[in-house]
A and B are shown apart, each in its own frame.
Chain A
Amino acid sequence: MSNNIPAVELVNITKTFGRVHANTNVSMKIHKGEIVALLGENGSGKTTLMNMLSGIYYPDSGAIFIDGKEASIRSPKDAFSYKIGMVHQHFKLVDVLTATENIILGLEGKLNLKESEAKITEICEKYGFDVDPKKKIYDMTVSEKQTVEIVKVLYRGADILILDEPTAVLTPQETEKLFNVMRKMKEDNKALIIITHKLHEVEAISDRVAILRKGEYIADLVTKDTNAQEMTDMMVGHAVKLNIERVKPLSEPKTKLVVKNLTVVDSDGIKKVDDVNFEVKTGEILGIAGISGCGQKELLESIAGLQDTQSGSSVIYINDDGTEDELIGLNPYEISRKGVSLSFVPEDRLGMGLVANMDISDNMMLRSFRQGSTPFTDRKSPYKLAKKVVSVLDVATPSIETPVRKLSGGNVQKVLVGREISNAPTVLMTAYAVRGLDINSSYAIYDLINEQKKKNVAVIFVGEDLDVLLELCDRILVLCDGKVSGVVEDPTPEDKNTVGLLMTKVGGNNSESK
């Protein structure tokens, strides 16, 4: 800000992947000694834009200026030569090596660990990092690993640092520590860009905030002159009318599933789901909104019997006759043997829901192959089901025998959803059911879900597009950092800001709701 020449200037950057526009004509500037927050929803093109600065991608058009000179950054090595360093969300570290060995990996010259360690200690002291150069990566917490990644970038002399959602994996205390370090780097006249979608962090750390939406640059604002409301408006945009029908169920809703005190702790000791409580009724769609990675996946997997939960967690299924079954502690097969017809459309379609190398018919068998008392599988029914799914859901495929990996995203999802709804579920859970799908396929999926609702199925719909959630769902539960930050009953498109704010506020229970 003090300097007239920006450290980095992006001019009309455009990047497309196939027919997807990741970035369209984005221009922005970052100065030395300033922290810029890059704010946007999932899929708004934040990471793609920064990957072009770090040499992972090359822009289709547009120009990048470093210190006022045009730069061509074609590889991470080029990026380093311009003193640009990026800390990615997925760490690139070798587990069995020490912090020092990882930091100097790929550099040239004679190996002198002592000297390197001294230099690392020096960097750590300068910015207030807390890292033991001799510690092995596998002994480290996520936060320590992240520190190593940041030191790695600084060790190579980076003056422009990009941090891609660094706080997603950190506890509040660790986040505060990171922010302190960032402030020190700022004092050291470095340019910092932090990608985030948490408004309170934007407010806490940044000098300026640049907002992207659907690959387009919306605005940049001086942080202290703006407020959460304005940023949310810019981030989520105006409500878009989608005309998704909200159907009425055939009979009066009854409580079907009761989730109580559900807590999941991952292998790093981080609480992914934190004491979540809610109910789902028959004939309703419960929407779950939240920034991705806030515990949605773990929540659904806990209900489906795929996730270890903390003791005290409970998921109670209420049968039609009023009897109750505890689902926690059962695996998916045991759940189905109890007579609970629970369907789950997971986020990872080809890695979890389907077998990529098997054909449509064989994939239909995944749920039903155990049927019958002989050791043989019934091949005819899955084949019939496959034919039915293909014709009813209009799956574009050369044949039933085509491996599903060869189908397009929308058709893969139709096959998966088709199978999951084929065994008359009473509970249907979907995770990002329309991610990567085109408009027509998306509407086809909404129709399928509504059809299930009409049949009194209790539906849990985890989504990322707020417009869709607001129109499709009867209730929206908002998750933030594994906690329920609020529930919006009978939402309308006008509730978009409410939900948007709940998504970004930690402990938003007390924050404004309608």
Chain B
Amino acid sequence: MNQNKKEPLFRITKRTDIPPHKSWIIRGVAIVIALLVCAIITTLLTKANPIEVYSSIITGAFGTTRKTWITLQNLSILLLISLALTPAFRMRFWNIGGEGQILMGGLATAACMKFLPGVVPNGLLILIMLLAGIIAGGIWGLIPGVLKAKWNTNETLSTLMMNYIATQIVAAFILYWSGKQSSGKIGVINPDDNLGWLPKIGGIAQLLPVIIAIIITIVSYIYYNYTKQGYEIAVVGESDRTAKYVGMNVKKVIIRTMFISGALCGLVGFLLVGGVNHTVTTTIAGGQGFTAVMVSWLAKFNPFAMIFSSFLIIFMGQGAGEIATAMGLDSSISDILTGIILFFVIACEFFISYKVTFKNNKKEEA
């Protein structure tokens, strides 16, 4: 009665060990394949020579000093958002509420910019704007943290809802402030006296976010690897039971970490409103709160690796935008290409975590 069951052709086993360089090679190969696929698609759509396409991507991102600075600024902002979400992710808390946290930070910053000039000197104003942005973003992150700690409310869904609540709050304030003009926009705040505008360091407006991004990257790295709180985050993320075993207050860690995550998003809101746009709109975050989730994940939540993953995304986006404009096509092609790269990199993680072995048809005797 020996039933000859079909043996699967291949067997998937979890890798116990993979040297770091090998896993980066796999990721690198995936990115190269993805770029090739992107090139083919772009060529098909634009009928341009793929080499030209890539050279125009490079000129799109770094063609002029100004373009380079814009690229660096965008890179810094995306990197900062990714860094902001990372504390939550390292705790296995899926904070996809970056958009909302940025918006609330930006809104608080804008409110200070609008109403405080004349009341306080400019230096103090900027400090208050910074604090207001951080606190507003922090509170927006704190709420889902408390919900998770108290009632185990699904954080992916709660942070998602918080995004849209924030969007509408911002929209309402914009209308309220724009008053009877009913343009639905508030325009640049303090255009004449530039009060509350963040300083141009060395005459370059884009330098400040770059510097802050560098600082936060280093501080993040130190925080995760050398501080007690960073250690607590790691333990809580790995195992609830171990955290309790050594007497950690898991709820406190969740709430505190979500405040930090939201506060850093609020900082980005502050930079976007005070330094980049000098106004607040509902689209200041521009979907980067979501993109940053992927950037952080691609980097395996490592702050330094995030420089590369955010660079990849920004570079492709900026460059593809350039091609599209040149060809008179819509710039959203960059989203398509970003999506394709992400698909490949997501897929390649499987081959880092698992080993696929093909096996011969061994018959087991009954």
Give residues in A with beta carbon < 8 Å to B: 58, 63, 69-72, 74, 78, 304-306, 331-336, 344, 346, 348, 351-358, 362, 365-367, 369-370, 375-377, 379, 406
Q: Beyond A332-B247, A376-B226, A406-B16, is A366–B242 a contact (Cβ under 8 Å)?
A: yes
Verify B364–A58 contact, CB threshold 8 A.
yes
Chain A's nearest CB lies how many Å from the CB of B252?
11
Chain B's nearest CB lies how many Å from the CB of A339?
14
Verify A74–B238 contact, CB threshold 8 A.
no
Query: What 0/1 pattern do residues 224 to 257 of B give for CB contact below 8 A with A?
Result: 0011111110110011011011111000000000
Verify A352–B366 contact, CB threshold 8 A.
no
A74 CA / B366 CA spacing, docked (Å): 10
Does B3 lie at the interface of the complex (its beta carbon under 8 Å from any beta carbon of A)? yes
Q: Which residue of A lies closest to B248 (CB)?
A: A333
Give residues in B with beta carbon < 8 Å to A: 1-3, 5, 16-17, 226-232, 234-235, 238-239, 241-242, 244-248, 364, 366
Partner among A63, A74, A335, A377 whose Cβ is within 8 Å of the Cβ of B228: A377
Chain A's nearest CB lies how many Å from the CB of B31?
25
Chain A's nearest CB lies how many Å from the CB of B169?
34
Q: Beyond A353-B242, A354-B242, is A336–B231 a contact (Cβ under 8 Å)?
A: no
Partner among A72, A344, A346, A369 whose Cβ is within 8 Å of the Cβ of B231: A369
Contacts of A304 in B (CB 8 A): 245
17 other contacts beyond A70-B1, A352-B239, with CB at 8 A cut-off? A58-B364, A69-B1, A74-B5, A331-B244, A331-B247, A332-B244, A332-B247, A333-B246, A333-B247, A335-B247, A354-B242, A362-B231, A362-B234, A366-B245, A375-B227, A377-B227, A377-B231
Verify A375–B229 contact, CB threshold 8 A.
yes
Contacts of A357 in B (CB 8 A): 238
Could you list some 12 contacts between A and B, CB below 8 A? Answer: A58-B364, A69-B1, A70-B366, A72-B3, A304-B245, A306-B245, A331-B244, A352-B239, A355-B234, A355-B238, A365-B231, A367-B246
Verify B247–A358 contact, CB threshold 8 A.
no
Q: Which residue of A lies closest to B246 (CB)?
A: A366
A148 CA / B17 CA spacing, docked (Å): 42
Chain A's nearest CB lies how many Å from the CB of B17?
6
Top 7 closest A-B pairs, CB basis?
A: A333-B247, A332-B247, A72-B366, A355-B238, A331-B247, A352-B241, A366-B246
Q: Beyond A58-B364, A72-B2, A74-B5, is A351–B242 a contact (Cβ under 8 Å)?
A: yes
Contacts of B247 in A (CB 8 A): 305, 331-336
A366 CA / B228 CA spacing, docked (Å): 10
Contacts of B1 in A (CB 8 A): 69-72
Verify B241–A351 contact, CB threshold 8 A.
yes
Verify A346–B3 contact, CB threshold 8 A.
no
Chain A's nearest CB lies how many Å from the CB of B51?
43
Q: Beyond A74-B3, A358-B234, is A352–B226 a contact (Cβ under 8 Å)?
A: no
Verify A353–B227 contact, CB threshold 8 A.
no
Chain B's nearest CB lies how many Å from the CB of A100?
29
Contacts of B244 in A (CB 8 A): 306, 331-332
Verify B245–A332 contact, CB threshold 8 A.
yes
Q: Beyond A70-B1, A356-B238, is A406–B246 a contact (Cβ under 8 Å)?
A: no
A61 CA / B112 CA spacing, docked (Å): 79
Contacts of B238 in A (CB 8 A): 355-358
Contacts of A406 in B (CB 8 A): 16-17
A406 CA / B2 CA spacing, docked (Å): 38
Chain A's nearest CB lies how many Å from the CB of B89?
15
A375 CA / B226 CA spacing, docked (Å): 9
Contacts of A367 in B (CB 8 A): 246
A414 CA / B14 CA spacing, docked (Å): 25
Chain B's nearest CB lies how many Å from the CB of A396?
15
Verify A355–B235 contact, CB threshold 8 A.
yes
Chain A's nearest CB lies how many Å from the CB of B233?
12
Chain A's nearest CB lies how many Å from the CB of B331?
41
Q: Beyond A74-B3, A376-B226, is A332–B241 a contact (Cβ under 8 Å)?
A: no
Q: Beyond A366-B235, A377-B227, is A353–B245 a contact (Cβ under 8 Å)?
A: yes
Contacts of B242 in A (CB 8 A): 351-355, 366
Q: Which residue of B lies closest to A304 (CB)?
A: B245
